[in-house]
Homo-oligomer: A and B are copies of this chain.
Amino acid sequence: MTELLWGKEPARTRGPKPAITLAEIAAAGIAIADAEGLDAVSMQRVADDLPVTKMALYRHVPGKAELVAVMSDLAMGSPPERPDGPWRETLHTWAIDLYDGFVRHPWLLQSTIGRRPLGPNELAWIERGLAGLVDVGLTGGEQLDAILVVTSHVRNIAQQSSTFPGHSIGLTEEDMQRSLAEILHTEAARFPRLVAATSTAAGSENQGLEFGLERILDGLDLLIRSRVAVPDRIETLPVDRRR
């Protein structure tokens, strides 16, 4: 598994030249997943698109789970290079880049959950996310936790705004809004705060992304300032809360 993700080619010896490569298989799978969702990716479907028999794929990949893992790391791609800057802007830009990636390949939200072996691109994203957080006074564990909380937020916002073809009970955004409105109308007494909150909610695009991100960054800012200020007494500037 790790060997597959990290592209350790086993160095051909004898036997026929392979008609397909792991990269081609993964690329075919990614194309299907992008176009029709992860559920449309079956071994048969991938094989048909190459074209080759289904069982031929098993010469290059142990099973479907491993194929999806390779697809995922490949689709994730390298994080875009960004110029250095203040940690907050760096982390903010990184979060938006991550969000864009999930929007480009919504199925990554399904395939990259739970414990799994990490591929080179996924690690590169984490590495890049840490870029602004070195030398701000956080411990290593805190740096990783900070990346994690930002990632969580980005993932769930992307999940919310994405549609998974064929996956669920196929609700459009309007369907869901309407059914929620109906329920809140008939059951208003049970959910007074929810009724009040939704009635005054504007709900523009990506509003949730920026809101949560700013709160998280504010919270990190507070921690970082406390770490810098206390041991060194260098700066005790008041917190300016707006970016």
Instruction: Tell me which residues across on chain B come within 8 A of A225, comparing CB atoms.
Output: 241
Q: In the complex the two chains form, what is the Cα distance from A159 to B179 in whole Å?
A: 28
Q: How far is the CB of A99 from chain B (nearest CB, A)?
A: 13
Are B156 and A197 in contact, CB atoms less than 8 angstroms apart?
no
A182 → B minimal CB distance (Å): 8
Q: Does any Cβ of B come within 8 Å of A23's Cβ?
A: no
**Structural contact, B201 and A139, CB atoms closer than 8 A:** yes
Chain B residues whose C-beta falls within 8 Å of the C-beta of A115 in the assembled complex? 160, 163, 168, 171-173, 175-176
Residue in B closest to A184 when the chains form the complex, CB atoms = B123
Q: Is A199 in contact with chain B by the CB < 8 A criterion?
A: yes
User: A103 near B: Cβ within 8 Å?
Assistant: no
Contact between B169 and A65, CB atoms less than 8 A apart: yes
Q: Are A183 and B127 touching (Cβ within 8 A)?
A: no
Question: Which residues of the partner chain B approach A179 to less than 8 Å between Cβ atoms?
Answer: 2, 117-118
Q: Are B239 and A117 in contact (CB under 8 A)?
A: no
- Tell me the bound Cα distance from A150 to B200 in angstroms: 20
- Which of A14-22, A40-48, A140-148 lies at the interface? A140-148
Q: Mark A164-180 against chain B: 1 for CB-CB distance below 8 A, else 0.
A: 10011101110110011
Query: How near does chain B come to A10, taking the closest CB pair, in angstroms?
Result: 17
A202 within 8 A of B: yes
B217 x A140 contact (CB < 8 A): no
Which residues from chain B contact A201 at a C-beta distance below 8 Å? 139-141, 144
Residues of chain B within 8 A (CB-CB) of A141 are 197, 200-203, 207
Instruction: State whether A198 touches B153 (Cβ < 8 A).
Output: no
Given A126-B194, A198-B140, A152 contacting B157 (CB threshold 8 A): yes
Q: Are A156 and B151 in contact (CB under 8 A)?
A: yes
Report the separation of the CA atoms of residues A87 and B194 in the bound assembly, to the nearest whole angstrom: 16
A-to-B contact residues, CB < 8 Å: 1-2, 6, 65-66, 69, 109-110, 113-118, 120, 123-124, 126-127, 130-131, 133-134, 139-146, 148-149, 151-153, 155-157, 159-160, 162-164, 167-169, 171-173, 175-176, 179-180, 182-183, 187, 190-194, 196-203, 207-208, 211-212, 214-220, 222-223, 225-226, 239, 241-242
